[in-house]
Amino acid sequence: MANHPPTDSPTPRRRVALITGGSGDIGAAIARALSQTGVDIVVGYRERKAAATALVHELHAQKRRALCLQADITSREQVRTMIAQTIDAFGTIDILINNAGVLQQKPFQVITDEDWDHTLAVNLKGAFLCIQEVLPLMLAQRSGRIVNMASSGGQVGGSLAPHYAASKAGVVSLTRSLARLAAPDVCVNCVAPGLIDTRMTEAEIDSEAGTQKLCQIPLGHVGTVEDVAASVVFLATSAPYITGHTLNVNGGLYFG
Alpha-carbon distance of 195 to 188, in angstroms, equals 23
Which of 248, 236, 247, 242 is closest to 33 using CA atoms?
Answer: 236
* Span 60-81, average pLDDT: 98
Q: Is 1 among the domain residues?
A: no
Alpha-carbon distance of 24 to 193, in angstroms, equals 15
Reported as a single tens digit per residue, the pLDDT across 110-161 is: 999 999 999 999 999 999 999 999 999 999 999 999 999 999 999 999 888 9
The whole-number pLDDT of residue 210 equals 75
Q: Is 9 among the domain residues?
A: no
Q: Of 150 and 205, which is predicted with more confidence?
A: 150
Q: Is 2 among the domain residues?
A: no
Question: Are 16 and 95 within 8 A, CB to CB?
Answer: yes
Catalytic pick among 45, 164, 241, 254: 164
User: What is the count of structural domains for the chain?
Assistant: 1
Alpha-carbon distance of 88 to 186, in angstroms, equals 22
Binning the chain into helix, strand and coil, the percentages to the nearest 5 are 50, 15, 35
Question: Are 185 and 135 within 8 A, CB to CB?
Answer: no
Query: How much is the pTM?
Result: 0.92
CATH number at residue 237: 3.40.50.720
Reported as a single tens digit per residue, the pLDDT across 12-26 is: 678 999 999 999 999
Q: Is 54 among the domain residues?
A: yes
Q: How far from 112 is each of 13, 107, 125, 171, 188, CA to CA, in Å?
A: 48, 10, 18, 21, 32
- As a whole number, the mean pLDDT across the chain is 93
End-to-end Cα spacing for the chain? 55
* Span 171-191, average pLDDT: 98
Alpha-carbon distance of 24 to 88, in angstroms, equals 24
Q: Is 236 among the domain residues?
A: yes
Domain span at residue 111? 16-249
The whole-number pLDDT of residue 208 equals 77
Q: Is 256 among the domain residues?
A: no
Which of 219, 187, 228 is closest to 32 using CA atoms?
Answer: 228
The whole-number pLDDT of residue 12 equals 63
The whole-number pLDDT of residue 206 equals 77
Structure confidence at residue 256 as a pLDDT band (50, 70, 90): confident
Q: Is 77 among the domain residues?
A: yes
Alpha-carbon distance of 158 to 153, in angstroms, equals 5
Q: Is 10 among the domain residues?
A: no
Give yes or no: 164 in active site: yes
The 8-class DSSP code of residue 238 comes to S
